[in-house]
Amino acid sequence: MDASPDFGLYSNASTGPKAVEYSKDHSVPLPQYLIDYHASVKARRQDSRMLSELFQSQLYVFLARSWASKRVLEIGLYVGFSAMVWSHAIGPDGSITALELSPELAQEAQEAMAENKVDNVQVIVGDASQTISQLCPNEPYDLAFIDADKPSYPKYLALLLEKSQPGAQKRLLRPGAIIVADNVLRYGHVVDSSLGEEQWPVTFNRTQQLEAMRNFNDRCSMEPRLEVFMLPFWDGLVLARLID
């Protein structure tokens, strides 16, 4: 595809947002209750930047359905929006296990899910690096979604792989399962060393986060058991397929 080196993909800056809106309108839609809950969180929470974007969530629905996913492991529940997206994607006969460190966030998420009649999400409160180790599902998960504390991403990946050994009778992820990891580019700081603290929009430790995300991204790309595609959209997404 031809693209001008001066203008990028589109001939002017205003075309990009129009292309995004057009793409949203021509992609799998989200139900109104998800759109409304997303708007509610945006309006009342100062930390709402932690929400997945609506367009991003449309991709999640498409991914889950494309892989015929019925069992989802979510690492990082926040206020429940993404769990509700996965619930919508897999249907009432599917199930989600959602791990959340904060009891307050877990409570808010459970209240929102009850209000929206989402009843196929099991919430486990605690440090995910410990709760993942304790999981022993009757059937392995089809999809794992990582959207929790960024410094722990490498540890979460290691645990998922460790508990999904080839040929094991009991494993956490099935062969061919998908791992979706959000925020892998951290506002572009992972790839652009010219960006500094003044362009870092959150209070979390920048150096620690960037080191962890680069470690995670490198581990994903070098892991022989994973087939990886990285999307430079939103805050960066890793899509990884567990080969064995």
- The pLDDT of residue 203 is 61
User: Cα Rg for the chain, rounded, in angstroms?
Assistant: 18
Residue 188 pLDDT grade (very low, low, confident, very high; cuts 50, 70, 90):
confident
Q: Does the pLDDT at position 5 exceed 50?
A: no
- The pLDDT of residue 6 is 43
- The pLDDT of residue 206 is 79
Which amino acid, 165?
Q
Give me the mean pLDDT over the 224-242 stretch. 95
Q: How far apart are CA 119 and CA 80, in angstroms?
A: 12
| 157 Cβ contact list (under 8 Å, min separation 6) | 146, 179, 181, 216, 219, 220, 223
- Average pLDDT of the chain is 92
Q: What is the pLDDT of residues 129-144, one digit of tens each?
A: 999 999 999 999 999 9
Residue 181 pLDDT grade (very low, low, confident, very high; cuts 50, 70, 90):
very high
Q: Which CATH number fits domain 14-242: 3.40.50.620, 3.40.50.150, 3.30.2010.10, 1.20.120.50?
A: 3.40.50.150
Sketch the domain layout of the chain as residue ranges: 14-242
- The pLDDT of residue 209 is 86
- The pLDDT of residue 110 is 99
Q: How far is CA 175 from the centre of its chain?
A: 20
User: What is the reported pTM?
Assistant: 0.92
Q: Does the pLDDT at position 207 exceed 90?
A: no
Which letter does DSSP use for residue 72 in this model? Answer: E
Provide the percentage of residues in the chain whose pLDDT is more than 70: 93
Q: How far apart are CA 82 and CA 87, in angstroms?
A: 8
Q: What is the pLDDT of residues 81-113, one digit of tens each?
A: 999 999 999 999 999 999 999 999 999 999 999
- C-alpha distance from residue 39 to each of 52, 170, 190, 232 (Å): 12, 40, 29, 24
Give me the mean pLDDT over the 28-43 stretch. 98
- The pLDDT of residue 7 is 42
Residue 187 pLDDT grade (very low, low, confident, very high; cuts 50, 70, 90):
confident
Identify the weakest region by mean pLDDT among 69-78, 171-180, 227-236. 227-236
Residue 196 pLDDT grade (very low, low, confident, very high; cuts 50, 70, 90):
low
